[in-house]
Amino acid sequence: MSDSFVLGYWDFRGYGESCRYMLEYSGCAYSDKQIERPSRADYSPWRNISENFGLDFPNLPYLIDGERRLTESLAISKYLGRKYGLVPKSEDEVIRADMLEGVIAEIRGSFYRIFFQGDEKYPECAANFKKDTFLPKARKIVKFMGQRQWLVSDELTYLDFLFYAQLSQQLCLFPRCLDGLERLQKYMSDFQKLPRIDAYLKSGRCLPNFPKNDPYIRKDFVLENL
């Protein structure tokens, strides 16, 4: 397989950002194809071309690695994880990783569902997300981490890229969502200090906190006290 990947995703962070972090962390050559999203409901720039890539299940993100063509963000994360040693090693670590994958996917799914209830319900849905989903699960994740440096063990795995991407999106909108969760604040800053991640975050390649076309992470959606 080639060492030059193509990642396709919208021109915002969403489900693509954790894959971008993994590609950056691994130091491989890749091209980040960002597809313009003209408005929240207009998928046409992607839908018009989605059948052109030989994808079995056309969707965004997609990853092309030579003859290998993948969609599904978790499948892409695990593929890159296997390729670059970012996977759990022992059976116990695999079990931890599998459980965390479900928990993080649930947080991520609930987070994005906030935006589909109508803008007038947004503040209430956001507050419910934090109270009923995020905080209970985040507290359990902290307990589950124990003294480990990362989620699964003292070594990074694909779960850390997924979780960091999720937390950083939440923090844009709910700047206080990690108040009282000092362990996760440290976790975030440890991740940001990884040399290749640090370089990426400071590079012109990294998307800003509020990308122009992001239908979800918008300045008018910021809830300063959440």
Ligand X SMILES: N[C@@H](CCC(=O)N[C@@H](CS)C(=O)NCC(=O)O)C(=O)O
Shortest approach of ligand X to residue 225 CB, angstroms? 27
Question: Does residue 47 interact with ligand X by CB under 6 A?
Answer: yes
Q: Which of these ranges, 24-32, 46-54, 145-153, 181-189, lies near ligand X under the rule CB under 6 A?
A: 46-54
Q: Which of these ranges, 68-76, 77-85, 166-174, 187-195, lies near ligand X under the rule CB under 6 A?
A: 68-76
Q: Which of 28, 33, 34, 43 binds ligand X (CB under 6 A)?
A: 43
Q: Which of 18, 73, 168, 170 binds ligand X (CB under 6 A)?
A: 73
Backbone angles phi, psi at 100, to 5 degrees: -60, -35
Question: Does residue 72 interact with ligand X by CB under 6 A?
Answer: yes
Question: Strand pairing partners for 6?
Answer: 31, 64
Tokens representing 48? 């018009």
Q: Is the Cβ of residue 61 or residue 211 nearer to ligand X in the bound state? A: 61
Give the number of other Cβ atoms within 10 Å of residue 206's Cβ.
16
Q: What angle do CA 106, 107, 110 make, to 5 degrees?
A: 80
Tokens representing 170? 């939440």
Shortest approach of ligand X to residue 59 CB, angstroms? 5
187 in Cβ contact with 179 (< 8 Å): no
In angstroms and rounded to an integer, the radius of gyration of the C-alpha atoms of the chain is 17
Query: Which residues of the shown chain bind ligand X in the complex (CB under 6 A)?
Result: 14-15, 43, 46-47, 50, 59-61, 72-74
